[in-house]
């Protein structure tokens, strides 16, 4: 049975904790993923996927840990009444959360200061938004599991839409928008040892 780690605390974590076992996975939940002890447990379990929930920003410490340990991870959170799912990061093969953070800083020089203020916060959203984001996240986890279970990872289904991208879900307007995140030239994530500082918020 494949292992999935759920890292975070909040309404999204609550919904996903109830739903992920239905996918036939061995679920381990960590409510304090930024702590060294939790990261040690995650590293020992070697989950197929780490699902990062609720936090507006993924801390650089957690981001670096996941890249260093080569652990695939998927970010799921809400912002401004919308659900954000992705990017799905495959260390060494896709861009990472820090790449997206660096692109934000390129567009807005004030972003590092904004990010510092948001660190540790858990945004709120309507139940509809929370469940829409959680439902779409489950679909992405299903695709990851399907790929892992296929011999040589060949044949359908195709890659998840969140692979190196963020899908923004607006349940009120019934829209879904995808933003691709290429590797940022200043991020060393492909080497397994990302440099620079900052918080990761794709």
Please give the model's pTM, rounded to 2 decimal places: 0.91
Residues 6+ apart with CB under 8 A from 105: 111, 112, 198
CATH among 3.20.20.120, 3.40.50.970, 3.40.605.10, 3.40.50.720 for 3-191: 3.40.50.720
Render pLDDT for 48-100 as a digit per residue (tens, 0 to 9). 999 999 999 888 889 999 999 999 999 999 999 999 999 999 999 999 999 99
Q: What is the dihedral of CA 70, 86, 54, 21, to 10 degrees?
A: -70
Residues 6+ apart with CB under 8 A from 27: 3, 4, 5, 6, 17, 20, 21
Measure the CA–CA gap between 35 and 31, rounded to whole angstroms: 9
Measure the CA–CA gap between 29 and 43, rounded to whole angstroms: 13
Ordered by start, the domain boundaries in the chain are 3-191
Residue 69 has what pLDDT? 94
Render pLDDT for 68-82 as a digit per residue (tens, 0 to 9). 999 999 999 999 999
Per DSSP (E only), the strands in 25-182 are 26-30, 49-53, 73-79, 82-89, 165-170, 175-180
Phi-psi group of 174: left, alpha or beta (phi > 0 → left; psi -120 to 50 → alpha; rest → beta): left
Q: Residue 79's beta-bridge partner residues?
A: 82
| CA proximity to 87, closest of 178, 165, 159 | 165
Residue 51 has what pLDDT? 98
Per DSSP (E only), the strands in 8-139 are 26-30, 49-53, 73-79, 82-89
Render pLDDT for 104-156 as a digit per residue (tens, 0 to 9). 999 999 998 888 888 778 999 999 999 999 999 999 999 999 998 876 655 55
**Maximum CA extent, the chain:** 47
| CA proximity to 76, closest of 159, 133, 161 | 133
Measure the CA–CA gap between 90 and 179, rounded to whole angstroms: 17
């Amino acid at each position: 049975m494949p292992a999935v780690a759920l890292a975070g605390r909040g309404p999204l974590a609550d919904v996903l904790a109830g739903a992920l076992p239905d996918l036939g996975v061995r679920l381990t939940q960590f409510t304090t993923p930024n702590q060294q002890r939790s990261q040690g447990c995650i590293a020992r379990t070697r989950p197929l996927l780490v699902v990062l929930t609720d936090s507006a920003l993924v801390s650089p410490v957690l981001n670096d840990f996941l890249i260093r340990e080569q652990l695939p991870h998927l970010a799921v959170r809400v912002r401004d009444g919308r659900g954000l799912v992705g990017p799905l990061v495959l260390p060494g093969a896709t861009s990472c959360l820090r790449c997206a953070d660096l692109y934000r800083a390129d567009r807005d020089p004030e972003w590092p200061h904004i990010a510092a203020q948001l660190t540790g916060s858990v945004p709120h959203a309507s139940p509809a938004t929370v469940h829409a984001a959680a439902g779409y996240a489950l679909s992405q986890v299903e695709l990851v599991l399907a790929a892992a279970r296929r011999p040589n990872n060949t044949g359908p289904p195709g890659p998840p839409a969140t692979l190196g991208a963020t899908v923004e879900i607006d349940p009120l307007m019934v829209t879904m928008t995808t933003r691709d995140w290429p590797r940022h030239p200043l991020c060393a994530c492909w080497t397994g040892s990302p440099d620079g500082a900052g918080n990761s918020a794709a």
